[in-house]
Amino acid sequence: MIKAAIAGATGYAGNELVRILTNHPDVEIKALLAHSYVGKRFDEVYENYRDINNMVCEEMNIDKLADECDVIFMALPHGVASNVVNDDILKRTKIIDFGADFRLKDIDIYEKWYGVKHEGRDIIQNAVYGLCEINREKIKQTNLIANPGCYTTCSILSLYPLVSEGVIDLESIIIDAKSGVSGAGRGLALSNMFDECNESVKAYKIASHRHTPEIEEQLSYAAKCNITLSFTPHLIPMNRGILATCYAKLAKSLTYDDVRNIYEKYYGNEYFIRLTKKGIFPETRWVKGSNFVDIGFKIDDRTGRIVIIGAIDNLVKGAAGQAVQNMNILFGLEEKKGLAFAPIFPA
């Protein structure tokens, strides 16, 4: 059995991770860590775990956990992991970090966008960006996984095949993405209160969202040149889900079948990536509660553009599910183990 600890277990992503790992046949949850709920039982924080999980939440002692656990999931804000993870810890356990600390290889860019000093410069090169369908082989070789963000997972996977094949104008990429309220986390904030977000849609962090350099860096690897793009996130009055609508100018004339063949080349054997049928486009309700990514597209012959739409559950494929998928790869398990559940509907 894989012994796992979950730091930040009482946040939305951490809670989702507890739910998934509770039903994983090869995992034993050894510790739940939650700074604000130390000494409190997990089923007191989340009543839905009554008679399922009554573990007491602990303060994080990463040195102790490194000796007791095979993997530590860090479902914590940016700036935490780089302060506590070091080479000695990585020699004793595996780290899957939900934060942004190890996603960007250029630490100067990280510090510029996140406004905090990065304390893990000596181990950043050991980190692998944990987008499983793209970096699977690299993931197998490391003990430090940078679990991708939710917007980035949806956006990168939607665009990756077309960028890799060079069939779109790289200077024309625009990403318009929408997220459910759970993407902002469980902390109290006026902007996330029901009266503030219900019956309203808003754009936020326009031209300044921190996932922008993450998307640009990963797509630049695919393109083998630097990419600069426009990314605008929106808050939608729903609990969970990401819908990314991506626009780009086609670099050459392509038919629907041409584009479909490109996506099949990259994702035809990927269990968690589902291509929608022609004329049918992804909706968040068809991926809710699952680790699936749905992708569809439409060629606009009038403008010479292609519109690509991707949908994920931000708490599963955008966070906890992808983390478990990474764990499965790290430990040589079947990749979909503990994750092969259908989306829930209605919900």
- Give the C-alpha distances (Å, rounded to integers) separating 177 from 72, 124, 170, 314: 30, 29, 18, 12
What is the edge-to-edge ordering of all strands in the sheet holding 27-33?
27-33, 2-7, 71-74, 94-97, 144-146, 128-129
Cα 52 from Cα 227, distance rounded (Å): 47
Strands 174-179 and 202-203: unpaired
Please name the amino acid found at residue 318.
Answer: G
DSSP secondary structure string for all residues of 298-343: EEETTTTEEEEEEEE-TTIIIIIHHHHHHHHHHTT--TTTTT--PP
80, 13 contact by CB (below 8 A): no
Active site amino acids: 150
Please write down the long-range contacts of 334-337, taking CB distance under 8 Å and 24 or more positions apart: 335/132, 335/271, 336/271, 336/272, 336/291, 337/24, 337/25, 337/26
321, 73 contact by CB (below 8 A): no
Please name the amino acid found at residue 161.
Answer: P
